[in-house]
Amino acid sequence: MTDQSPLYNTYARSEFAFDHGEGAWLVDARGERYLDFGGGIAVNALGHAHPHLVAALQEQAAKLWHVSNLYEIPEQTRLAGRLVDATFADRVFFTNSGAEALECAFKTARRYHYAKGNPERWRIISFEGAFHGRTIATIAAGGQPKYLEGFGPKVDGFDQVPFGDLEALKQAISEETAALVIEPIQGEGGIRVVASDFMRALRDLCDRNGLLLILDEVQSGVGRTGRFFAHEWSGIGPDIMAVAKAIGGGFPMGACLATEEAASGMVPGIHGTTYGGNPLAMSAGNAVLDIVLADGFFDGVNDRANRLKQGLASLVDRYPGVFEEVRGQGLMLGLKCVVSNVALVRQLYANHMLTVPAGDNVVRILPPLVITDEEIGVALDRLEAAAAELSQQSE
């Protein structure tokens, strides 16, 4: 983007402009096809223009776009009920984005302690490398200097400890602590998987200290890791969970899920949103669940993920000058690079494949959950071509 652009200059955009999408492919105005392994950053879980989602939105668009939350929205109640049936949760609040789902999660945790007569318990502990969004509170929770700089004093109430450091976490808990917030797999942070025993230790620590466990599954949720939500791999459940991205299949929406107990402070008038839970978003969300909650869907994701991960592991073995390791769970994968991750993303552009860089010099590999075997083969060929080109350049 040049200085003449009418847009805020906040994104370092590439030169691509896509005209339409078909499944795992994005097509530009000249008809050039790109294999999309970024998926709008883990949003287009069912690929582009999935016929079931298109039909659901078209049907809803002809009926009703928006009504206020002053009225019953039957599709909202239905989607909430389906989420409750399929998860740890008893209650759902719908939002428009991930950051808003986190804001709701933080408010829910603080109100829980307030309603229990402990208003002094309002601080929330997070982990280094976290990303929880770009609002004033979520940049404080994420704690990353690059996102906090220039926005005044960091909002108080968020304490941060090193990733995976249980002792530091125990030290950080005080009489003012209300909750912990963690991504089961850090996305922006570089596809860093939280070990299952660490997840169980967190649950235990929360139970023993009367804290609420908030999971940020904005990126890892809705089938991405081969289970409905990533925390299911560890066998524990949270008290509160933020969801967004894939839940709308590309339509902007998010949700905050909570147990009855954790949500007990959220009484009438205490929180609200104009658009959250509107009929269009709810029709998209219900259509996504029709597919991901169908029998055998997650088994299929795991099969595809195993195939892809094996192929990536073989590339890592064969191109040690380009890749250090493959990591992640299900179809939330990362290639930790030896070369610069941005150089690999660019080389993949040249091979008509789209991926997304992350922290820790990682390239994120986030194909649609419905990727075919043939497309996995194409992706591995293109990754190999890019790796060979980068190897040659560095010789």
* Residues in contact with ligand PLP by the rule CB under 6 A: 41, 97-99, 102, 131-133, 183, 187-188, 216, 218-219, 244
Minimum distance, C-beta of residue 312 to ligand PLP, in the bound complex (Å): 21
Cβ closer to ligand PLP: 301 or 356? 356
Cα distances (Å, whole numbers) of residue 393 to 309, 318, 335, 347, 384: 26, 16, 19, 11, 14
Cβ closer to ligand PLP: 203 or 364? 364
Minimum distance, C-beta of residue 335 to ligand PLP, in the bound complex (Å): 18
- Taking CB atoms, the residue at the shortest distance from ligand PLP is 98
Rounded CA separation 54/33 (Å): 21
Cβ closer to ligand PLP: 102 or 137? 102
Cβ closer to ligand PLP: 131 or 228? 131
Measured in degrees and rounded to the nearest 5, phi and psi for residue 123 equal -85, 150
297 by Cβ neighbours in 10 Å (0-12 / 13-18 / 19+) ranks as: middle
211 by Cβ neighbours in 10 Å (0-12 / 13-18 / 19+) ranks as: buried
Give yes or no for a contact between 244 and 254, defined as CB atoms under 8 angstroms apart: yes
Rounded CA separation 105/122 (Å): 12
Minimum distance, C-beta of residue 190 to ligand PLP, in the bound complex (Å): 12
Cβ closer to ligand PLP: 110 or 245? 245
Minimum distance, C-beta of residue 11 to ligand PLP, in the bound complex (Å): 13
Question: What token pair was written down for 241?
Answer: 């969970």
Alpha-helical runs (H) found in 36-132: 39-42, 51-61, 74-86, 98-115
Cβ closer to ligand PLP: 41 or 168? 41
Contacts of residue 266, defined as CB under 8 A and 6 or more positions apart, other chains included, come to 91, 93, 107, 108, 111, 258
**Structure-token match 């998987």, residue found:** 193
Minimum distance, C-beta of residue 333 to ligand PLP, in the bound complex (Å): 15
Minimum distance, C-beta of residue 141 to ligand PLP, in the bound complex (Å): 9
Question: What token pair was written down for 24?
Answer: 């795992």
Radius of gyration for the chain, computed over Cα atoms and rounded to the nearest angstrom: 21
Cβ closer to ligand PLP: 60 or 219? 219
**HSE, side-chain direction, 13 A CA sphere, residue 359:** 14
Minimum distance, C-beta of residue 97 to ligand PLP, in the bound complex (Å): 4
The amino acid that residue 143 corresponds to is G
Give yes or no for a contact between 102 and 181, defined as CB atoms under 8 angstroms apart: yes
Minimum distance, C-beta of residue 245 to ligand PLP, in the bound complex (Å): 6
Cβ closer to ligand PLP: 47 or 248? 248
